[in-house]
């Protein structure tokens, strides 16, 4: 499926067979997830996309051909193709491990063709290996939403209580990881559907960002109700009341 003009529908198209250059791989695509950024590209919100363009940058597929000097993977290997498709390798960002800031960077499904197709060509340095334990469709969203989410989650260190603003794909994925790790998650999202989804994933509190999170509300309520009690006891009462509220609302 190709985009010939921004703000227009994708059209099914027959395109010439792809050729690999040095260091590139030809991938037979098994799955390609859709990201909000794909919609921004199609809507013309991002400047100067390649046109005609095959969108999609969360691609999973098998290597069917290796170009000259491509030795990192074998034919038949399954790989993932993310947003970052190429960088110069010589600027200060590339040399300091921050190649995502490279001024000459190219991007899958934006300045290079992406994954809404049967085949794609990618520089092997920007592929990622994908373990066989996860299916093609389940692996594809990890290549953008999962990467963004895991980067954010890592920055929280070992914090027990996490607040998540908005509940898009990255949030949905890292919430599952954080809940599995036993963390207490507060989700701020306006959409009722997203609130339901967050609850179904086992988060501690869900609401929109106009409402203060429940820990704060219950703590204040506990202080007002039991002003004569010590701080320690008010904390205990808070925990008891908050837990009974959670039990009632689930
Ligand atoms: Zn994306
Ligand atoms: Zn660079």
Cα 90 to middle of ligand 2, angstroms: 5
Query: What percent of the chain shows pLDDT beyond 90?
Result: 76
Q: Burial, 125: exposed, middle or buried (Cβ in 10 Å; 0-12, 13-18, 19+)?
A: middle
The ligand minimizing its distance to the Cα of 103 is 2
| 109 located within any domain | yes
| 157 located within any domain | yes
Cα 246 to middle of ligand 1, angstroms: 34
Name the domain count of the chain. Answer: 2
Contacts of 111 (CB under 8 A, 6+ apart): 48, 49, 50, 85
Instruction: Provide the 10 A C-beta neighbour count for residue 75.
Output: 12
Q: Which of 140, 171, 186 is the last residue of a domain?
A: 140
On whether both 174 and 202 belong to a single domain, the answer is: yes
Does residue 228 have a pLDDT over 70?
no
Residue 138: the pLDDT is 94
More confident site: 224 or 199: 199
Per-chain mean pLDDT for the chain: 89
| 11 located within any domain | no
Cα 27 to middle of ligand 1, angstroms: 19
Note the pLDDT tens digit of each residue in 52-110.
Answer: 999 999 999 999 999 999 999 999 999 999 999 999 999 999 999 999 899 999 999 99
Cα 64 to middle of ligand 1, angstroms: 25
Does residue 219 have a pLDDT over 80?
no
Q: What is the mean pLDDT of residues 160-183?
A: 94
| 14 located within any domain | no
Q: Which of 140, 155, 183 is the last residue of a domain?
A: 140
Of 9, 10, 7, which Cα lies nearest the Cα of 43?
Answer: 7
Cα 55 to middle of ligand 1, angstroms: 11
Cα 131 to middle of ligand 1, angstroms: 20
On whether both 174 and 192 belong to a single domain, the answer is: yes
Asked if residues 6 and 43 have their Cβ atoms less than 8 Å apart, the reply is: yes
Cα 160 to middle of ligand 1, angstroms: 27
Cα 123 to middle of ligand 1, angstroms: 18
The ligand minimizing its distance to the Cα of 38 is 1
Contacts of 154 (CB under 8 A, 6+ apart): none
Cα 145 to middle of ligand 1, angstroms: 6
CATH classification of the domain holding 93: 3.90.180.10
| 203 located within any domain | yes
| 18 located within any domain | no
Residue 11: the pLDDT is 96
Residue 250: the pLDDT is 46
The ligand minimizing its distance to the Cα of 97 is 2
Does residue 242 have a pLDDT over 90?
no
Note the pLDDT tens digit of each residue in 189-214.
Answer: 999 999 999 999 999 999 887 776 66
Cα 16 to middle of ligand 1, angstroms: 26
Residue 232: the pLDDT is 67
Cα 100 to middle of ligand 1, angstroms: 13
Does residue 163 have a pLDDT over 60?
yes
Cα 73 to middle of ligand 1, angstroms: 24
On whether both 134 and 38 belong to a single domain, the answer is: yes
**Which range marks the domain in which residue 241 is found?**
146-249
Q: What is the mean pLDDT of residues 134-138?
A: 94
CA distance 219 to 222: 5
More confident site: 245 or 52: 52
On whether both 156 and 237 belong to a single domain, the answer is: yes
Residue 95: the pLDDT is 96
Q: What is the mean pLDDT of residues 40-53?
A: 96
Cα 124 to middle of ligand 2, angstroms: 17
Residue with tokens 């006891």: 233
Cα 69 to middle of ligand 2, angstroms: 21
| Confidence tier at 28 by pLDDT (50, 70, 90) | very high
Cα 37 to middle of ligand 1, angstroms: 5
């Amino acid at each position: 499926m190709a985009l010939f003009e921004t703000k227009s529908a994708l059209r099914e198209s027959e395109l010439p067979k792809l050729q690999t250059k040095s260091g590139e791989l030809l991938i037979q695509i098994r799955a390609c997830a859709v990201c909000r950024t794909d919609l921004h590209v199609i809507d013309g919100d991002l400047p100067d996309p390649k046109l005609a363009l095959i969108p999609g940058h969360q691609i999973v597929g098998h290597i069917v051909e290796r170009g000259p000097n491509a030795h990192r993977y074998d034919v038949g290997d399954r790989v993932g193709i993310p947003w970052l498709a190429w960088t110069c390798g010589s600027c200060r960002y590339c040399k300091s491990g921050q190649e995502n800031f490279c001024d000459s960077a190219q991007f899958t499904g934006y300045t290079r063709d992406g994954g809404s197709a049967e085949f794609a060509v990618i520089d092997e340095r920007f592929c990622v290996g994908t373990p066989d334990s996860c299916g093609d469709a389940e692996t594809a969203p990890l290549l953008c939403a999962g990467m963004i989410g895991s980067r954010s989650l890592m920055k929280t260190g070992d914090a027990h209580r996490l607040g998540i603003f908005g509940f898009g794909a990255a949030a949905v994925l890292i919430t599952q990881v954080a809940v599995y790790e036993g963390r207490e998650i507060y989700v701020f999202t306006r959409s009722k559907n997203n609130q339901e989804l967050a609850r179904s994933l086992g988060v501690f509190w869900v609401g929109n960002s106009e409402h203060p999170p429940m820990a704060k509300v219950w703590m204040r309520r506990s202080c007002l109700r039991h002003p004569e009690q010590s701080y320690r006891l008010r904390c205990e009462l808070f925990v008891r009341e908050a837990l009974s509220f959670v039990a009632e609302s689930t």
